[in-house]
Every structure is written in C-alpha cells, then in structure tokens.
Amino acid sequence: MTHWLLPALVAPLVLGLVTVGGWFTTYFLGLRQEKRRRLERIVDVQTAVAAEIRSYRQRGTSFDIAEHGAKMEAWILAGEGANTPFVPLEPEFIIYSAMVKDIHILPQAVIDPVVLFYTQASTVALFASVLRAERYEALDAMRKNDMYQDYLRLLQHAYTLADTALGELQVSLAEGGNQ
C-alpha cells in the first residue's frame, strides 16, 4: 500500500509547482513585454513630436527676424497707419493635440521643454489672430508697429524654445527614448 502512496502525493505536488512556475513565468514575460511596448510608445511619441517641432522651426530658417522686423517697422511707419502687415495663419499642432493625453509617459527632461514650446507657439498663434483682426488694421502706425514687433519677439522666442525642445528630444532618443 505504501508503494502507490508516495507517487500519488508527489505527482500533485510537482504539478502544483509547475503550475505556479508557469504563472510566474507568464507574469514576468508579460511585464517585460509591457515595458518594451511602453518604450516603443515613448520613442514613437518623441519622434512624432520632434518632427512636428522641426516642421515649425523650419519656418524660421527662411528669413532673418531682426532684418524683417526693421524692414516692416520702416514700412508700417511710412504708411502712417495705412500699411498693415500680412500675418499668416499659424499651423495647427495635430500631433501634439493627439498625444497630449499621453505626455506623462515621456521623460521629465523632455516634457518641460516640449510643453514650454507648444505653450509659446499657441501664444504666437493667438497673437497672430489679433494681428489679423480689423481692430489691429485701424490702429495708428506707432501702435501697429509696436504690436507687430511684439509678435516677432514672440515668434523668435518660440523658435528658441523649439531648438531647446528638439535638443532634449534628440538626447532622449539617442539614449533609447527613456532618459
């Protein structure tokens, strides 16, 4: 009778240990896969945001803001209020709008400069909308010029913040996306 008792006890014990081992293995493999997916998501978001910021920044390379500001000042003031500069619509930030709910997954060193850039770029867009309004067109030359020069300073600061954000994104992506 003792010949069958030992195998009858050992078999369920081995089965239980194999089952528990399988649970732990599955759990840890799932954690590793989740970590890999999260890192891929971080890299994807950073890559997309960097592309959008680079696109915005590219606009600033086509002209010298200080030189443009001086020319526009002379032109606005020469018109004694009749000359109103054309201010283009600012681009929509499609990528940022789509990923803003996931910004918390990005490394802290990247979040701050990215948010600062997009906040400044939004300020530029709001100010540009004021410069396209009829009230701006009706201003005297001096006030019109002052506002336009403010717009150019806001734009220059946005480009500076874009450079900073791109630098941090580049560092983070070079380190594998997760600083």
Mean pLDDT of 83-110: 91
Cα–Cα distance for residue pair 11/56, rounded to 1 Å: 67
Q: Note whether 103 and 137 are within 8 A (CB).
A: no
* Residue 169 buriedness (CB in 10 A; 0-12 / 13-18 / 19+): buried
What tokens does 111 get? 């979040």
Lowest pLDDT segment from 48-57, 76-85, 138-147: 76-85
**pTM for this model (two decimals):** 0.82
Cα–Cα distance for residue pair 26/4, rounded to 1 Å: 33
Per-chain mean pLDDT for the chain: 91
